[in-house]
Chain A
Amino acid sequence: MSKLEVQRELEKAHAEPLLPVEKQLIGWSLGIGFTLLVILALFSRFLPGA
């Protein structure tokens, strides 16, 4: 892929709006991620060395 092709690609890249499935992927990832972090943070209080 040449320099010109890369630049052309990056210029035209804004044409794709976020699909509902992408929004779901981002939303579910963050939701599960923060929930698990809170659970793990609480759990880690009971681990040795804490």
Chain B
Amino acid sequence: MSTATKSLDRLSEGRLVLSEDWLSVAIGLAVFVLALAGLSGTDFLGWVVTTSVWTDPGKALAPISKVYGELGGAGALIVTYLALLAILSAAAAALKAHVARFAIAFSAVFWIAYASWIVGSYAYLAAVTPADLQKFGIGWSLKLTNEGGFIVALLAGIVIANFFPRFAEWLREAIRPELYIKIAIVILGGFLAVTFASKLNLATSLVLRGVAAIVEAYLIYWAVVYFIARKWFGFSREWSAPLASGISICGVAASIATGGAIRARPAVPVLVSSLVVIFAVVEVLILPWLATLFLSHEPLVAAAWIGLAVKTDGAAVAGGGITEALILAKNASEGIRYQPGWILGTTAAVKIFIDVFIGIWAFLLAYIWTNHINVTRDKAKAVEIWQRFPKFIIGFVATFAVGLVLALTSAPATLAKLTPAIGEANTFRVIFFILTFFSIGVLSNFPKLWQDGFGKLAAVYFVSLFGFVIWVGLLISWLFFAGVTPPLAS
């Protein structure tokens, strides 16, 4: 069983999924509330470390708030590490993980992941505009923006998984991409609310367009992938349903929810999930660059496409972050400056809309399976919809709602403090993204996957994903988002 599989095995235990979901809500809300204390003049989170594009390593790091300037960059990094270590070790205790082992592994994860982020901010990798090149005194740059650090973190994780498998196994206790990305998404809600508040009509229209994503993922993708798996590849129903959900809906969570719904053996969706992670990594390494190459003048088509095509919340939302950085950079080099947040927000909205309906789709499948296919006494119950509902979405909705109300109703003086306060929370969101990217990389043990004899499963995934899912996703993203562009930065 691969490292990925072992790690994902824990996700198949319903109680643990619930705990991880609720923990992400608690941690995400705590960061959001502490950040909002800034509105009353108390800066609780200003010590969190942020990284600028650099050529002089001594100037790369700094605390986000000048109030904590005395800490310096290295001090801010150490305080950030200690704070995250304390919070996440408490979370590990709540998850009944081995806390000491988690703390040691998390320390390695944090320092490697954040070092990757710092490397990604090196000016030769990250500088974008001619003015930036001149400012840093360099003649060229890969123009990845400092969010290219996500890719550096992902590659670092992949290298560890594939060349240092024993080290990857040693890190396993702290390799929790689902937890990290859910915390990030809860925090992201507040950031998106403040961004969207400036153009509420456009934001509303994006949400309505996002409904199309649900129709596509559940009704069209699922049916076609299920048919391909059953008819062309001859898989049984027990394998085909979790596989169809994994490829078409939302990766790991959907695959596990579907496995439970059709009463499959727990190992089936867990093995499918390990495939999902591998292919999500491949997509994140390819699609943002394709989107930038061909869709830089249709930024929201690119955003929706990433949300529809990349499976797993972590890879999709983080992929949206990379796509935003690359597309904004490309447009900036052509003199067009879009407001940040809209591309990432569109990708996140598409993904979250899809997530919301996992429970309902799983219930529908459970009803059909338990009443018409494998008729059992263990009938589908309506309560399963709630049990399978991804609870972190409650946290996202809460921060989004509070952020929106504050952005729309606050007096100008309060509003002036809102943006930096949300900025502090958003800095944590970026750190959790970095941890997610690195963790996904560490789960991507490519050779071991093939050793496990999953060739046929992988073939279905490959045919469905690259032959159908990403192209239909592109078509539908174009149909609904073409001509809709983010507001220009003021």
Q: A5: nearest residue on chain B (CB-CB)? A: B267
- Using known A-B contacts A25-B223, A29-B219, A49-B201, determine if residue A6 contacts B271 with beta carbons closer than 8 Å: yes
Which has the most chain B C-beta neighbours within 10 Å: A13, A18, A26, A37? Answer: A13
How far apart sit A23 and B372, CA to CA, in the bound complex (Å)? 12
What is the distance, in angstroms, from A39's C-beta to the closest C-beta of chain B? 9
Contact across chains for B209 and A47 when beta carbons are under 8 A apart:
yes
- Using known A-B contacts A9-B239, A41-B480, determine if residue A3 contacts B451 with beta carbons closer than 8 Å: yes
Chain B residues bordering chain A, tally (CB within 8 A): 45
How far apart sit A16 and B233, CA to CA, in the bound complex (Å)? 11
Hey, which chain B residues are within 8 Å of A40, CB to CB?
209, 211-212, 215, 480
What is the distance, in angstroms, from B237's C-beta to the closest C-beta of chain A? 6
How far apart sit A10 and B229, CA to CA, in the bound complex (Å)? 11
Contact across chains for B226 and A44 when beta carbons are under 8 A apart:
no
Interface of B, helix, strand, loop or mixed by DSSP: helix
How far apart sit A8 and B216, CA to CA, in the bound complex (Å)? 34
Residue of A21, A32, A34, A49 touching B202 (CB-CB under 8 A): A49
Q: Does B234 contact A (CB under 8 A)?
A: yes
Interface string of A38-50 (1 = CB under 8 A from B): 0011011001111
Q: Does B15 contact A (CB under 8 A)?
A: no
What is the distance, in angstroms, from A19's C-beta to the closest C-beta of chain B? 7
Q: B230: nearest residue on chain A (CB-CB)? A: A18
- Using known A-B contacts A1-B267, A22-B373, A40-B211, determine if residue A10 contacts B219 with beta carbons closer than 8 Å: no
Q: B217: nearest residue on chain A (CB-CB)? A: A33
Residues on B lying within 8 angstroms of A by beta carbon are 1, 201-202, 204-206, 208-209, 211-212, 215-216, 218-220, 222-224, 226-227, 230-231, 234-237, 239, 265, 267, 271, 368, 372-373, 451-454, 456-457, 476, 479-480, 483-485
Beyond the given pairs A25-B368, A33-B219, 18 more chain A to chain B contacts, judged by CB atoms under 8 angstroms and listed by A's residue number, are A1-B265, A3-B453, A6-B452, A6-B453, A6-B454, A9-B236, A10-B239, A13-B235, A18-B230, A19-B373, A25-B223, A26-B226, A36-B219, A37-B479, A44-B212, A47-B208, A49-B485, A50-B483
Residues on A lying within 8 angstroms of B by beta carbon are 1, 3, 6-7, 9-10, 13-16, 18-19, 21-22, 25-27, 29-30, 32-34, 36-37, 40-41, 43-44, 47-50
